[in-house]
Amino acid sequence: MNILIKQATVVNTQSPHHGKTVDILIERGVITQIKKNIVPEKGIKTIEEEGLCVSAGWLDMQANFCDPGYEHKETLENGLKTAAKGGFTGVCVMSGTNPPLHNKAQIDYVMNRAKGSLTDVFPVGTISYNQEGKDLAEMYDMQLAGAVAFSDYKKPVKDAGLVLRALQYSQNINSFIMTHADDKTISQGGQMNEGVVSTKLGLKGIPALAEELMIQRNIQILEYAGGRIHFPTISTKGSVDLIKKAKANGLRVTCGVAAHQLLLDETELEGFDTHYKLNPPLRAKEDVNALKRALENGTIDVVVSDHYPQDIESKDLEFDLADNGIVALQTAFNCLVTAMPKIAPETIGECLAENPRAVLGLKPVLIKENEDANLTLFTLSGKTILTEKQIVSKSKNTPFIGESLQGKVIGAINNDKLVLN
């Protein structure tokens, strides 16, 4: 497929064209020309949009496609189409499946099912066998099959000794672990952030302490064992402070934040809408502001969708019985821009495209001639209003249907394929 992108501002700090407004010609999946003006040939697909920006293809470091085991909520094929619509040309597929991605066969299954898609798949294997938190999973075998990192997804590793062994072992295979921070002995039974709002609503709260205690513990284990650790979805001001201090001390720690955590706070739950029931929970305004500052100053490395599909039977329940989760791949960028309307395009490129690849140890994507075209097209102006019909995911568990959000994802290009919105 031959494509001409007209008058797009390049957002790619490692590209010699960064910050320039140029035309980009793509032939058979390769960038062949980048010039001030390219006259389109007859029959070529031309993309033009006012205020168009082009960055390296975005990579989401946390999404659950529920396949195998929960295909009624999402499938790999459907999840990858959803990712492309959201502008993501790469996705870390998490192990929230049945069975979990805990051995070579499971990683092979994901890799084979994803072949031929626009969006590249980067499977994340489990830390522990079957996510039971007892014995190490077959990390090396999974890495050989294609696993880029190891995580028990939303199940925090209770056993400190297991975290220690996982960090030590991951160093031997030049990999790292990702751990969800939540001390269940503190948060068990919690429905939302602990605070004034939870007290007013009569709901059991989840203290910030549950997250921060686990982060502090794992940072201290990291300091002892060495290696690399990533906290995929932090949500509190205290977590930001702990990670900032750890980085200042030279520890190899990185972290991410879910895009909706930058936009929404605990007051959204005053209507008992289960679409706002998430893990980690929506926190106080003070925490949300701290997360925004941390993204701007580089303490937070990446922004993720935390895409977690739930069918209607899992959400259309009394609040305390409903499951956590949100379908977020199609709204992640819009949540980010709506929450931070003055965000620099460079920051968007870094937290959605460049930093995720750096954390994963992948080759950077460059917007320059003779490089493969792995691109996301977007505008910061204009509004996006998501309708239920436009949701590609099999599940519809999002509070953003009918809401006006800032920015537009124009399309994605990768593997000689194009998806336009």
Distance CA(410)–CA(418), nearest Å, equals 11
CA distances from 68 to 10, 64, 122, 211, 389 (A): 38, 11, 16, 29, 25
Asked whether the predicted pLDDT for residue 41 surpasses 90, the reply is: no
**What are the tens digits of pLDDT across the range 57-80?**
999 999 999 999 999 999 999 999
Q: Is 124 helix (H, G, I), strand (E, B) or coil?
A: strand
Q: Judge whether 306 counts as a catalytic residue.
A: yes
- What does the pLDDT read at residue 110? 96
CA distances from 178 to 73, 189, 218, 227, 406 (A): 24, 24, 11, 12, 30
- What does the pLDDT read at residue 1? 84
Q: Considering the entire predicted model, what is its pTM?
A: 0.96
Going from N- to C-terminal start, the domains of the chain cover: 2-53+370-420, 57-360
* Tokens describing residue 221: 């284990």
Q: What is the dihedral of CA 7, 345, 263, 287, to 10 degrees?
A: 180
Distance CA(307)–CA(324), nearest Å, equals 11
Could you say which of 183, 306, 323, 372 is catalytic?
306
Asked whether the predicted pLDDT for residue 40 surpasses 90, the reply is: no
**What are the tens digits of pLDDT across the range 264-288?**
999 999 999 999 999 999 999 999 9
Q: Is 183 helix (H, G, I), strand (E, B) or coil?
A: coil
**What are the tens digits of pLDDT across the range 311-366?**
999 999 999 999 999 999 999 999 999 999 999 999 999 999 999 999 999 999 99
- What does the pLDDT read at residue 62? 98
Domains 2-53+370-420 and 57-360 are alike in CATH topology:
no
**What are the tens digits of pLDDT across the range 351-408?**
999 999 999 999 999 999 999 999 999 999 989 999 999 999 999 999 999 999 999 9
- What does the pLDDT read at residue 43? 83
Average pLDDT value for residue range 45-65: 97
Asked whether the predicted pLDDT for residue 42 surpasses 90, the reply is: no
Give me the chain's average pLDDT, please.
Answer: 97
**What are the tens digits of pLDDT across the range 195-213?**
999 999 999 999 999 999 9
DSSP state of 350: I
CA distances from 28 to 202, 239, 370 (A): 59, 45, 11
> What is the CATH architecture of 2-53+370-420?
Roll (2.30)
Give me the percent of the chain exceeding a pLDDT of 90: 98
CATH number for the domain running over 57-360: 3.20.20.140
In the beta sheet, which residues pair with residue 30?
27, 372
**What are the tens digits of pLDDT across the range 152-163?**
999 999 999 999
**What are the tens digits of pLDDT across the range 10-26?**
999 999 999 999 999 99
DSSP state of 195: S
Other Cβ atoms less than 10 A from the Cβ of 3: the count is 21
